[in-house]
């Protein structure tokens, strides 16, 4: 009977019943799948960005099913601490852990005959994932601290905004559990993928706010509508609702143009909001490449400077005092230029311990040219020169550049990021990655 009722209920009826606004083909496809799967007991896996309305679809599935008179429980897996999530979901026995003064039923026991909506399921610990898999396969679970298995008949609807392929590849989510949960997948489009619905939603939110606070409804002018529809909305419907409510309450004028609306829409380039996994990956690829290019150009410039210095030394000769005061530079340029230009000779009495650390010592030949300010000097000095084994790791070079930039700008990240040619957000991530403390 319930199946027949669902078939006669069209998509427009479902939209009206659950307050869904929009005519996007992707949205209507998601509603149609939810309607078709609701009468079954199959597990459903809902994917979509934050703020797209995943919980509304779990309500659709529950209310259009034979379980609609049973209990519906929505659980945010990411909001429950790892140490207590097993107790929350499956219950515990008295004395099973500190603070367990009484036995307690878990959500799977309370929702027997109903539906459980597991939001942010990708945040669930691996140990809990194993327990959940057993419930899905056998309908059995064990309370924390108990030895007896209990039975439950619960329909599971799960949701996440995480890329599950990446989560499985990184061993953060069980592959067998993913396939068990996603018997029927439903994808909810982001707001930017249904632009024709944005202004309709804005009008609905503005009208609701006006009715609630007894004020005239705001109206957007044409230029403002264009701006509203072309924004990317990282917070999706939730963010659009906030914008509509802010404008309704703050602005005295009821006709809003683009310049006024722009005050309530964050700049994408300077947004401090979290970014999605795909955006973070793209941002990392761009900024890492830029850093690598800058590193290579700086190394090339340094090499050219060293060559010029070597030529000058070979033409003019090298005094002992100069070697004593510039030992580090001489050792470095000797190593690099010898590799490119061939060996050259040093005339010096510099000490052999110019540098410390991992070094290789060798005897350098002497320069044939005699300094003009040492006319009576005829002795040739055969001095050990230290060759530094310089790291060629890009990791070390990048870390060194970041440290230099921070030191130059006295640990001010904004200036350091600008000089490095990266965003301040990327610099902050690199500081944490390399554990740089200044």
The torsion angles phi and psi of 205, rounded to 5 degrees, stand at: -65, -40
Alpha carbon distances (Å) from 113 to 41, 73, 190, 359: 11, 11, 32, 73
Average pLDDT over every residue of 87-99: 90
Question: Does 430 map to a domain?
Answer: no
The mean per-residue pLDDT over the stretch 2-15 comes to: 73
pLDDT at res. 404: 87
pLDDT of 383 reads: 45
Task: Examine the pLDDT at 343 and tell me if it is beyond 70.
Answer: no
**412 and 357 in contact (C-beta within 8 Å)?**
no
Q: In this predicted structure, what is the pLDDT of residue 368? A: 40
The whole-number pLDDT of residue 370 equals 42
Is 89 inside a domain boundary?
A: yes
Q: Which of 235, 268, 301 is the last residue of a domain?
A: 268
Asked if residue 114 and residue 248 are part of one domain, the reply reads no
Average pLDDT over residues 37-48: 96
Return d(Cα 118, Cα 106) in angstroms, integer. Answer: 14
120 & 6 share domain: yes
C-alpha torsion angle, residues 343, 345, 350, 352 (rounded to 10): 40
**Residue 248 pLDDT level (bands cut at 50, 70, 90):** very high
Residues 243 and 169 occupy one common structural domain: no
User: Does 177 share its domain with 200?
Assistant: no
Tell me what the mean pLDDT of segment 346-355 comes to.
41
Q: What is the chain's mean pLDDT, rounded?
A: 80
Whether residue 37 contacts residue 188, with contact meaning beta carbons closer than 8 Å, is answered with: no
Residues 89 and 201 in one domain: no
* Same domain flag for 143 and 205: no
Residues with Cβ within 8 Å of residue 33, at least 6 apart in sequence: 184, 186
Picking from 94, 101, 97, the residue whose alpha carbon sits closest to that of residue 84 is 97
Range of the domain at 157: 2-189
pLDDT digits (tens, 9 = 90+) for 111-141: 999 999 999 999 999 999 999 999 999 999 9
pLDDT category of residue 380 using cuts at 50, 70 and 90? very low
Strand ranges in 193-283 using DSSP code E only, listed in sequence order: 219-220, 255-256
Any idea which of 40-49, 121-130, 285-294 has the lowest mean pLDDT? 285-294
Q: Is residue 144 part of a domain?
A: yes
Tokens 């061993």 found at: 171
Instruction: Please report whether residue 341 resides in a domain.
Output: no
Q: Is residue 348 part of a domain?
A: no
pLDDT in tens, 258-277: 999 999 998 764 444 444 44
Note the pLDDT of residue 281: 46
Handedness of CA 415, 418, 422, 423 (dihedral sign): positive
* Alpha-carbon gap, residue 430 to 402, rounded angstroms: 8
Q: What is the CATH number of the domain that holds 170?
A: 3.40.50.300
DSSP structure string for 76-109: EGGGS-TTTHHHHHH-B-TTSSTT--S-B--HHH
Contact, 131 vs 91, CB < 8 A?
A: no
CB 268 within 8 A of CB 232: yes
180 and 70 belong to one structural domain:
yes
Residues 119 and 172 both lie in one domain: yes
Asked, for residue 236, whether it belongs to a domain, the answer is: yes
Q: Which among 268, 291, 311 is the end of a domain?
A: 268
336 located within any domain: no
> In this structure, are 205 and 251 located in the same domain?
yes
Residues 417, 429 contacting (CB under 8 angstroms): no
Is 397 part of a structural domain of the chain?
no
Which domain CATH number covers 232?
A: 1.10.8.60
pLDDT-based confidence at 354, cuts 50/70/90? Answer: very low
- On whether both 116 and 51 belong to a single domain, the answer is yes
Describe the crossing of helices 54-63 and 25-37 by its angle, rounded to 10 degrees.
Answer: 40
Number of domains in the chain: 2
Looking at the DSSP bridge assignments, the partners of residue 141 are 150
Judge contact between 366 and 379, C-beta under 8 A.
no
Last residue of a domain, one of 246, 268, 290: 268
Same domain, 68 and 108: yes
Top pLDDT among 161 and 420 is at: 161
CA–CA–CA angle 90, 91, 96 (5° rounding): 125
Same-domain pairing of 6 and 155 = yes
* pLDDT tens digits, one per residue of 219-241: 999 999 999 999 999 999 999 99
pLDDT tens-digit profile of 69-88? 999 999 999 999 988 999 99
């Amino acid at each position: 009977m319930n199946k027949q009722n669902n078939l006669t209920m069209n998509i427009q009826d479902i939209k009206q019943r659950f307050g869904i606004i929009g005519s996007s083909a992707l949205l209507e496809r998601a509603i149609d799948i939810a309607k078709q799967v609701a009468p079954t007991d199959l597990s459903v896996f809902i994917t979509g960005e934050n703020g797209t309305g995943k919980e509304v679809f779990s309500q659709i599935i529950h209310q259009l099913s034979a379980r609609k008179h049973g209990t519906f429980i929505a659980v945010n897996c990411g909001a429950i601490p790892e140490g207590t999530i097993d107790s929350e979901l499956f219950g515990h026995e008295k004395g099973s852990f500190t603070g367990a003064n009484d036995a307690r039923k878990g959500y799977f026991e309370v929702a027997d005959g109903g539906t459980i909506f597991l939001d942010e399921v990708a945040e669930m610990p691996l140990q809990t994932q194993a327990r959940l898999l057993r419930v899905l396969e056998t309908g059995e679970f064990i309370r924390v601290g108990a030895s007896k298995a209990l039975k439950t008949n619960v329909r599971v609807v799960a949701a996440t905004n995480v890329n599950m392929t990446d989560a499985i590849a990184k061993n953060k989510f069980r592959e067998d559990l993913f396939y068990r949960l996603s018997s029927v997948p439903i994808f909810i489009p982001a707001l930017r993928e249904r632009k024709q619905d944005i202004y309709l939603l804005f009008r609905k939110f503005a009208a609701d706010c006006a009715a609630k606070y007894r004020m005239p409804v705001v109206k957007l002018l044409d230029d403002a509508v264009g701006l509203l529809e072309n924004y990317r909305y990282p917070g999706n419907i939730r963010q659009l609702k906030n914008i509509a409510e802010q404008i309704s309450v703050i602005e005295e004028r009821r006709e809003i143009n683009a310049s006024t609306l722009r005050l309530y829409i964050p700049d994408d380039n300077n947004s401090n909001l979290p970014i999605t996994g795909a955006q973070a990956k793209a941002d990392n690829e761009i900024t890492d490449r830029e850093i690598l290019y800058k590193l290579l150009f700086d190394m090339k410039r340094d090499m050219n400077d060293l060559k010029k210095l070597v030529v000058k030394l070979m033409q003019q000769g090298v005094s002992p005092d100069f070697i004593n005061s510039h030992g580090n530079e001489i050792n470095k340029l000797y190593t690099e230029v010898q590799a490119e230009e061939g060996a050259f000779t040093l005339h010096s009495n510099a000490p052999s311990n110019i540098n410390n650390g991992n070094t290789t010592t060798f005897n350098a030949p002497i320069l044939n040219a005699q300094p003009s300010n040492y006319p009576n000097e005829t002795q040739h000095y055969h001095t050990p020169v230290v060759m530094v084994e310089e790291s060629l790791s890009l990791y070390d070079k990048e870390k060194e550049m970041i440290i230099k930039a921070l030191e130059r700008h006295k640990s001010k990240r904004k200036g350091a990021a600008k000089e490095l040619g990266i965003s301040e957000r990327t610099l902050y991530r690199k500081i944490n990655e390399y554990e740089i403390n200044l």
